[in-house]
């Protein structure tokens, strides 16, 4: 009896993934809860576990895009548990549906080692030294052989009874060796090789990884599905920076984490969503679903790509809890410990390109969400305050939104609410 290996549901908005690798060989014996494959989506990489014991047979190949609910392999539960010597290795997996091949009973296929009828020249019963100094060669020939180092067994003698003459040795000395002949024959290829290598050295070609292909597909899908529009503003971070400077030491001592900028922006986004609930929505078919919770996704860059873990119920979280949550997700992302549960259910996303030096960008929304806030680098810029030009730490903000359900007035109001909350942090405590 065979049991199907089925791709499980991975969360909302995920309909398929890339089978990036098999963790086992086809035809091998797998055990319950053993990792057998790795699946990549645009949000996460997840391992699949065997839910029974048996011999596995693949129905999908590495690199294939597989849909949720698809059968990618079968496991033969009737197979007996093999011994260690019978388990097929990576190099010796069976090609007949995954069965374990039995070793031959007799080694008759291996021919016995027999004494050859004739030995090569180097293996002749007469060693090279003996041939050089042998009585069959004249003293002049022996001297010349010693000087040149030529193996007499490689020379065809033209003298009486096939003896080697001095002329034979001199002719052999002037003749090209086999290696030289091969080298001469390969000269045309050798001349063209540097030209090819120099050309190829100017570029590097490599295929897109499965996750990058999927991310590209999802981003194109988002732009083709939603009517994405962006609006911009700038924010003065003087008040936030002064607040951090005054209370940083006490904050670290009390909570074990630094007070960063992201907690202020998460709180500001919650504040703005409460003021403009028309952005805290998603499109579901021909229906508009309004969220009454504030689960905020924070984009985190990893070596494999961008992941967006979600901070839950941010309206109930303190600044310390937000900072601790962000630090925890960053550590999990570095170690590859981000799970699917960490990625699900967000209603709005914040991405900070400023940590990489970005001055301004137009982020792409994360479907089915209707908005995303882009933060950027902080730069000292001249601004007018009370009729005077002063230098202030300024940041450009970008709000990308789905214009199908969010109007320009709502988008601009939302961004202004964030600006007010950051420039006057007391608003976050007072709820105004």
Tell me, yes or no, if 407 is annotated catalytic: yes
pLDDT of residue 110: 43
CATH top class, domain 219-430: alpha beta
CATH 1.10.3470 describes domain 121-176: no
Query: Which pLDDT band, with edges at 50, 70 and 90, does 178 fall under?
Result: low
Mean pLDDT of the chain: 81
Query: Which pLDDT band, with edges at 50, 70 and 90, does 415 fall under?
Result: very high
Catalytic-role residue among 151, 255, 295, 403: 403
Task: Kindly state the average pLDDT of the residues 289-293.
Answer: 96
Strands 71-76 and 2-6: antiparallel
Give per-residue pLDDT as tens, 216-268.
Answer: 777 888 888 889 999 999 999 999 999 999 999 999 999 999 999 999 999 99
Catalytic-role residue among 33, 146, 341, 407: 407
CA distance 19 to 72: 9
The residue extents of the domains of the chain are 2-95, 121-176, 219-430
pLDDT of residue 20: 82
Tell me, yes or no, if 402 is annotated catalytic: no
CA distance 121 to 156: 13
Is 83's pLDDT higher than 70?
no
Predicted TM-score of the model (pTM) = 0.61
Highest mean pLDDT pick, 71-85, 168-182, 397-411: 397-411
pLDDT of residue 28: 92
Highest mean pLDDT pick, 56-60, 93-97, 161-165: 56-60
Lowest mean pLDDT among 147-151, 243-247, 308-312, 407-411: 147-151
Lowest mean pLDDT among 112-116, 277-281, 305-309: 112-116
Is the torsion defined by CA of 253, 256, 259, 264 positive or negative? Answer: negative
Read off φ and ψ for residue 148, nearest 5 degrees.
-90, -25
Q: Identify which has the larger pLDDT, 111 or 147.
A: 147
pLDDT of residue 108: 45
CA distance 100 to 93: 8
CATH top class, domain 2-95: mainly beta
Is 82's pLDDT higher than 60?
yes
Strand ranges of the sheet holding 35-40, from the earlier edge strand across to the other edge? 45-49, 35-40, 16-22, 65-67
Size of the chain in residues: 432
Nearest to 41 by CA among 12, 69, 19, 73: 19
Q: Identify which has the larger pLDDT, 376 or 368.
A: 376
Contact 425, 239 (CB under 8 A): yes
Contact 247, 259 (CB under 8 A): yes
Give per-residue pLDDT as tens, 377-404.
Answer: 999 999 999 999 999 999 999 999 999 9
Contact 421, 271 (CB under 8 A): yes
Query: Which pLDDT band, with edges at 50, 70 and 90, does 54 fall under?
Result: very high
Query: Which pLDDT band, with edges at 50, 70 and 90, does 124 fall under?
Result: very low
Query: Which pLDDT band, with edges at 50, 70 and 90, does 136 fall under?
Result: low
pLDDT of residue 14: 72
Contact 7, 48 (CB under 8 A): yes
Task: Kindly state the average pLDDT of the residues 67-86.
Answer: 82
Q: What DSSP letter does each residue of 186-212 carry, written as one string? A: THHHHHHHHHHHHHHTT----PPPHHH
């Amino acid at each position: 009896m065979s049991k199907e290996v089925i791709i499980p549901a991975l969360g909302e908005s995920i309909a398929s993934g890339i089978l990036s690798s098999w963790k086992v060989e086809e035809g091998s014996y797998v055990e319950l809860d053993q990792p057998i494959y790795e699946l990549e989506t645009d949000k996460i990489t997840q391992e699949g576990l065997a839910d029974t014991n048996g011999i596995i047979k693949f129905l999908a190949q590495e690199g294939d895009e597989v849909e949720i609910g698809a059968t990618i392999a079968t496991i033969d539960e009737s197979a007996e548990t093999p011994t260690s010597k019978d388990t097929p290795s990576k190099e010796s997996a069976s090609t007949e549906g995954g069965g374990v091949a039995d070793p031959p009973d007799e080694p008759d296929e291996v021919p016995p080692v027999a004494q050859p009828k004739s030995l090569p020249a180097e293996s002749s019963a007469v060693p090279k030294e003996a041939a050089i100094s042998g009585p069959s060669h004249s003293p002049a020939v022996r001297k010349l052989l010693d000087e040149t180092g030529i193996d007499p067994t490689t020379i065809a003698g033209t003298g009486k009874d096939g003896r080697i003459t001095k002329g034979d040795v001199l002719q052999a000395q002037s003749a090209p060796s086999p290696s030289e002949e091969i080298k001469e024959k390969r000269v045309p290829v050798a001349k063209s090789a540097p030209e090819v290598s120099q050309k190829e050295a100017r570029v590097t070609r490599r295929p897109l990884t499965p996750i990058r292909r999927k991310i590209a597909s999802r981003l194109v899908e988002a732009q083709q599905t939603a009517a994405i529009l962006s609006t911009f503003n700038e924010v003065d971070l003087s008040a936030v920076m002064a607040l951090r400077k005054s209370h940083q030491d006490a904050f670290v001592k009390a909570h074990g984490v630094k007070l960063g900028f992201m907690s202020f922006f998460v709180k500001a986004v919650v504040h703005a969503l409460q003021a403009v609930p028309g952005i805290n929505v998603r499109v579901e078919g021909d229906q508009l679903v309004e969220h009454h919770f504030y689960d905020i996704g924070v984009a985190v860059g990893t070596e494999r790509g961008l992941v967006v873990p979600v901070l839950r119920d941010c309206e109930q979280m303190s600044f310390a809890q937000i900072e601790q949550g962000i630090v925890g997700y960053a550590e999990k992302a570095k170690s590859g410990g981000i799970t699917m549960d960490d990625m699900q259910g967000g209603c709005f996303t914040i991405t900070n390109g400023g940590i990489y030096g970005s001055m301004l960008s137009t982020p792409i929304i994360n479907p089915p969400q209707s908005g995303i806030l882009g933060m950027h680098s902080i730069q000292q810029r001249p601004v007018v305050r009370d009729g005077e030009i002063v230098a202030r730490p300024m940041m450009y903000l970008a709000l990308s939104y789905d214009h199908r359900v969010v109007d320009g007035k709502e988008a601009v109001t939302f961004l202004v609410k964030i600006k007010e909350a950051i420039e006057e942090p007391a608003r976050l405590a007072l709820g105004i």
